[in-house]
Amino acid sequence: MDQEGKSFSGYNPRTGSPTSRQFYEASAAEIERAARMAGEAVLPMQHLPAEKIAGFLEAIRSEILGLGDELVQQADEETALGLDRLRGERDRTCNQLKLFADIVREGSWVDARIDTALPDRKPLPRPDIRRMLQPLGPVAVFGASNFPLAFSVAGGDTASAFAAGNPVIVKAHPAHPATSELVAEAIQRAVAKESLPSGTFSLLHGIRPETSIALVTRPEIQAVGFTGSTRAGRALFDAAAKREQPIPVFAEMGSVNPVFLLPGALVERAEATAEALYKSVTLGVGQFCTCPGLAIGMAGGALDQFTAALKKQAEQGAPASMLNPHIARGFSEAFEKAAALPGVETTVSVKAAEEKRTEGRPGVLVAEAETWLQHRELREEIFGPSTIVVRCRSRGDAMRCAEALEGTLTATIHGTAEDLAGYAHLVALLRQKAGRLIFNGYPTGVEVAHAMQHGGPYPSTTDARFTSVGTAAIYRFARPVCFQGFPDSALPPELQNANPRGIWRMVNGQWTKDAVAG
């Protein structure tokens, strides 16, 4: 990087002071150069064999593992997330790279479809038509503040974009620039090791919104992956939509992740549920996008028992360092604003938060359903270690609360089999509100798997059809292309008659791995 732009540094949340290393805002020339190089890499990457892409992903994994504890120690200095948590996040990052390598190598993800010619069809013959997914083009990825590895430079957005065969430009999150540099260098070594085009990957730094907008509006960029606030995600979405050529922005943003506490569950295990919910709420100091910020239950003795146990957990809980002063201040202000509303009961940790250590103080808010419905501040995400308990006086109250929910990543139901039968309408409604439904569990902890859905209706994401976690994330960064009447020798291997890759294909409406008769 040249040093034309404004300088900045990372921040150590535990000490309340900037880190020593200086980084520089990407200049207009650097953004232009990265985008141009990515554009030049499109055609070479499009023609790479699947084995080459899989090998590249595995090379990134190997290079990251080769960093050892230097990586997690650097990440801990910039985030205060703890070495054990960050080792687990590093493993998740590496595992998802391997998972994407596996599906690329297997190959069926391209969704190949073949309708063979029907020359004798009346009144008109049918031509030979073959369709598959291909790379979308250069992808801009924005690192997340709360996952410096798994949702950052080599995180799920980057891994899935690479797996689809796209060049990637990452805009590093300014909260962990040194961590981002370490991972970027690992990717660059993998690019060199696999002899890929130099524009396959670039890293840009910046703290100004204008830098992000400049990247998104470069004509070479064909898609955006983002995890962060609704405000920032929407700004990128709007900028991308206003381009001469609009492009998709796959933004994961705010989510309240409601938990519905049905009567049977609370009667059986009120205190145990409160204890487990508190652990989920305060995991990572509440800085998970799936933090359960809302608990809705039927008023009565069981809910009172649950609420008392949850308040006790909060009172005895300890404040902890949040990711940076902006997030800590935002949490404190949002919590205090909600707590000041009429009809809201508030319980916080008996230990005060230390501003110097960027700490967030655990808390619980309690409100009647009518109060919750009247105040938008109670229905929005409070990003940090807190949750709101909503007391419903009737089943109708619970349904009205569910109907008032905005789109959310997750919705959780605690209950018995009888509860589920009695609240079937609630389950049906939550299917319209959330991307993932959880029964008798907790939303934090998103498994990286083939069946995972990490996305939901707006404002949790900008496109509820897709996921940012799991192998289905690859479909965000690919588009279908149809070949009509092409000779077999001119087709991609995935569409050739012999099926040289041995993938699953839909041939004349039937899924098969068999060759097509020539």
Q: What is the pLDDT at residue 6?
A: 87
Q: What is the pLDDT at residue 207?
A: 96
Strands 478-484 and 505-507: unpaired
> Which tokens sit at 251?
């933004």
pLDDT band of residue 434 (cuts 50, 70, 90) is very high
User: What single-letter amino acid sits at 104?
Assistant: V
Closest CA relative to residue 456, chosen from 291, 161, 252: 252
Q: Average pLDDT, whole number, for the chain?
A: 97
What residue ranges define each of the domains in the chain, with the CATH number in brackets?
26-117+127-253+466-477 (3.40.605.10), 258-439 (3.40.309.10)
Segment 462-482 mean pLDDT: 98
Segment 199-214 mean pLDDT: 97
**Residue 287 pLDDT > 60, yes or no?**
yes
As a whole number of angstroms, the distance between CA 386 and CA 285 comes to: 9
Segment 316-329 mean pLDDT: 97
**Residue 348 pLDDT > 50, yes or no?**
yes
Instruction: Considering the candidates 289, 291, 392, 401, report the single residue annotated as catalytic.
Output: 289
Q: What is the pLDDT at residue 4?
A: 56
**Residue 1 pLDDT > 90, yes or no?**
no
> Which tokens sit at 427?
């389950």
CB proximity list for 387: less than 8 A, separation 6 or greater: 277, 281, 291, 292, 293, 294, 295, 310, 364, 365
As a whole number of angstroms, the distance between CA 70 and CA 2 comes to: 25
Output the furthest CA–CA distance in the chain (Å, rounded): 82
**Residue 2 pLDDT > 50, yes or no?**
no
As a whole number of angstroms, the distance between CA 184 and CA 171 comes to: 11
> Which tokens sit at 93?
């990052």
Segment 315-336 mean pLDDT: 97
Phi, psi (rounded to 5 degrees) for 511: -75, 130
**Residue 478 pLDDT > 60, yes or no?**
yes
**Residue 88 pLDDT > 90, yes or no?**
yes
pLDDT, one tens digit per residue, over 181-203 is 999 999 999 999 999 999 999 99
**Residue 45 pLDDT > 80, yes or no?**
yes
pLDDT band of residue 37 (cuts 50, 70, 90) is very high
Residues in a beta bridge with 120? none
As a whole number of angstroms, the distance between CA 428 and CA 430 comes to: 6
**Residue 3 pLDDT > 60, yes or no?**
no
Residues in a beta bridge with 320? 360
Does residue 377 have an active-site annotation?
no
Cα end-to-end span (Å), the chain: 54
> Which tokens sit at 346?
């508030």
DSSP-H helix ranges across 246-394: 263-282, 301-316, 325-339, 369-374, 376-379
| CB neighbour class for 52 (10 Å; exposed up to 12, middle 13-18, buried from 19) | middle
Instruction: Considering the candidates 25, 58, 78, 252, report the single residue annotated as catalytic.
Output: 252
**Residue 495 pLDDT > 80, yes or no?**
yes
Neighbouring C-alpha atoms within 13 Å toward the C-beta of 329 = 4
Closest CA relative to residue 476, chosen from 461, 490, 487: 461
Does residue 106 have an active-site annotation?
no
pLDDT band of residue 67 (cuts 50, 70, 90) is very high
pLDDT, one tens digit per residue, over 365-414 is 999 999 999 999 999 999 999 999 999 999 999 999 999 999 999 999 99
